[in-house]
Amino acid sequence: MPFFRNGLRRSVGACSSAWTSPSRVSASPNWTRRCIHYDGRNRLSNFWSPTQRKPKDDRSNQNGDIDGHELLLRAGFLRQSASGIFHLLPLGLRVQDKIEKLIDKHMMRLGASKTSLSSLSSEDLWRQSGRLDGRDSEFFRLQDRKDARFLLSPTHEEEITKIVADAVHSYKDLPLRLYQITRKYRDEARPRQGLLRGREFVMKDLYTFDTTESQARETYEAVRQAYVAFLTDLRLPYLVANADSGNMGGKLSHEYHFASDRGEDTIIGCDTCDYSVNEELFIAPLDKAPSPPVADDAPSMPTKAGFFFAVSKDRRKLLWATQPAQDVFDFNIHAIKEIFPEIDTSFDGSDYKAVMDAWISGAEEDGEPRTRYLLVDSRNEGMEGFFEQWRSVTSLPGPEGNQVPVSSEVLPSEIDGNPVLLTKARDGDPCPSCEQGKLKLQQATEIGHTFHLGTRYSQPMQLQVLDANNKQVSVSMGCHGIGVSRLIGAIATLLADKEGLGWPMAIAPFEAVLISTPSVDKSDVESLYDQIHNAAVDMTIDDRDRAMGWKLNDADLVGYPFVVVMGRAWADKQALELQCRRLGIKEEVQAADVVSRIAELSQKL
């Protein structure tokens, strides 16, 4: 073992030759010398970073798209184990650790206590909350030797509610804020885009508990501000949008996104006011129509361009929606769902005939009439004759040729008595909020979500406290998530370019890498490292037995915010080359000024 005298670090270590085997993306096999040093400095010779070269004949992404996930694999941040399942390697783990520490900072400021809940969750709790039914396909399920049934937790609302219900009984114990950062599991039907849609993922969940609804809403706003502060620390452009609570429950909900052409969400914003909403919530009132109503004088069904077919989840109700025949806008499934809540949104119309046959044969078998609805866009005019014709149909021929009773109804496109459009928003449509601006649609990747749950879980799971009036009340809850592993994939895609990855200073695996030519004395390299590292810059030395050009290319691939080069200028005048690819900077800096220059440029990263 090395001996350290008087607190001085000595660059001693052990080296050995090692064979690096070729991979499917490696350019060629090569010999490297791997060294282990014991001086406490960050060195890439100590650090396992299995980067891979892209072969010259690689034809992927010929359309010019930059695949952040592919770069994460090539740069040695992760490896794939199975579809939607990934192993984090040392570089990836450093990024994840820094994200978690940044989250910890903002959760501490919010007064939240950190927990770690088991990945195994009892099916009984999910059955009690009402979330077990209808979601079987999403769960990884298992059974122990005593036949007890468990899930690999996709989320932990049930478990945390049970814990708090057993421990908290008075309003004096509230407010309470608990969070965890842990692995989650969801059996995705189609895992895709690497870490963005996996079957195993890391999330931060914050659970909040308040005595009253008003207190819970104040907590919700405090959490929103904490999320904004967290995203601001990343120094990346983000979007905040009103959102649908979905299966989580509750009505108050916001999503947090990075704008991305590869994003799965569409965010609708206004170019004048602060209106911002997920497309899932957008419903335009009729008076904000993008074009004047179009008359349809023919007493017949509109053409295919203005036709939409849907079925209820129980397959007992069918719905045809119409819009003006000349209108080729896409139908807004979310507006239709508000009017026809029973709709099965997973039905894509591909087995239309099978659904129709089952609908009519089912009515014939049980003798109960089925219902068919016509949902009419408010802009359709001159169709009264067709509507009467529709309503008059009380039976249809069954499989055996006999008449099967049906009910035929016409639904207006109204919500709470107000006419709405059945079409999606488009760029340039009038803003429904300020009425002055124009709408702009952006593809985005969701990286966080805040939900006000109210009593969605506390009531069925009997989480109650005695309030100040000595009355039992259900606790008002909130649930707030950040996709930690998802953030890694989203940022990789957002900042990647043709040279490699890019990282914000706050979460970069290392903030800077020091590269020197072989002619530079090792003691000079170590002294400069100490100078920069002691100024609170998370730095590493690339002291691997590789060519200078290889190291510089590798630094670009990994995406260090800063590259410090000790080359020819160092020998001539003790100067360095400072590179920052994200800012397009490559400049000569004196050694005495490098720390202040890094600090100055860091404010933009």
Spatial contact of 404 and 357, defined as CB atoms under 8 Å apart? no
249 and 113 within one domain: yes
224 and 262 within one domain: yes
79 falls within a domain: no
Structure letter (DSSP) for residue 24 = T
Structure letter (DSSP) for residue 25 = T
266 and 195 within one domain: yes
Q: CATH number for the domain including 163?
A: 3.30.930.10
* Angle, helices 90-109/484-495, rounded to nearest 10 degrees: 110
Spatial contact of 67 and 479, defined as CB atoms under 8 Å apart? no
Spatial contact of 338 and 321, defined as CB atoms under 8 Å apart? no
Radius of gyration of the chain measured on its C-alpha atoms: 30
455 and 357 within one domain: no
CA distance 470 to 481: 33
99 falls within a domain: no
252 and 114 within one domain: yes
Token reading at 361:
């044969």
Other Cβ atoms closer than 10 A to 300: 11
Q: CATH number for the domain including 552?
A: 3.40.50.800
Write out the residue range of the structural domain in which residue 336 sits.
286-419
| Apex 555 CA angle, 552 and 559, nearest 5 | 145
313 and 268 within one domain: no
594 falls within a domain: yes
pLDDT for position 34 = 62
Instruction: Give the torsion through C-alpha atoms of 76, 78, 79, 83, to 10 deg.
Output: -150
292 and 262 within one domain: no
pLDDT for position 459 = 94
pLDDT for position 11 = 46
Q: Which residues of 490-520 are buried (b: 16+ CB within 10 A; e: fewer)?
A: bbbbbbbeeebbbbbbbbbbbbbbbbbeeeb
Q: Which among 66, 86, 445, 479 has a CA at the least distance from the CA of 266?
A: 445
Token reading at 121:
């969750």
328 falls within a domain: yes
pLDDT for position 515 = 97
Pairing of strands 30-37, 13-20: antiparallel
95 falls within a domain: no
Instruction: Give the torsion through C-alpha atoms of 453, 455, 458, 463, to 10 deg.
Output: 130
Q: Cα dist. 281→266, 284, 395, 517, 573 in Å? A: 11, 10, 37, 57, 62
| Apex 450 CA angle, 447 and 453, nearest 5 | 145
Structure letter (DSSP) for residue 429 = P
241 and 174 within one domain: yes
Residues with pLDDT less than 50, the chain: 1-12, 16-31, 248-249, 291-305
253 and 190 within one domain: yes
Burial degree of 39 (CB within 10 A; 0-12, 13-18, 19+) = middle
Spatial contact of 538 and 504, defined as CB atoms under 8 Å apart? no
337 and 225 within one domain: no
115 and 246 within one domain: yes
Token reading at 6:
């008087």
238 falls within a domain: yes
324 and 261 within one domain: no
Domain final residue pick, 453, 486, 519:
486
Total tally of structural domains belonging to the chain: 3
pLDDT for position 328 = 54
pLDDT for position 32 = 55
Structure letter (DSSP) for residue 431 = P
Domain final residue pick, 460, 486, 512:
486
Spatial contact of 351 and 443, defined as CB atoms under 8 Å apart? no
**Contacting residues for 171 by C-beta, under 8 A, at least 6 apart:** 211, 465, 466, 467, 468, 473
Token reading at 246:
């979905």
- What does pTM read for this prediction? 0.84
The residue assigned the tokens 């059955």 is 127
Instruction: Give the torsion through C-alpha atoms of 71, 75, 76, 79, to 10 deg.
Output: 10
3-state SS of 519-568 is: CCCHHHHHHHHHHHHCCCCCEEECCCCCCHHHHHHHHHHHCCCEEEEECH
Token reading at 111:
């007064």
434 falls within a domain: no
Q: Cα dist. 566→420, 529, 572 in Å? A: 66, 11, 11
Structure letter (DSSP) for residue 368 = P
Q: Which among 2, 13, 43, 105 has a CA at the least distance from the CA of 529?
A: 43
593 falls within a domain: yes
pLDDT for position 18 = 40
Q: Is 360 helix (H, G, I), strand (E, B) or coil?
A: helix
Domain final residue pick, 486, 514, 541:
486
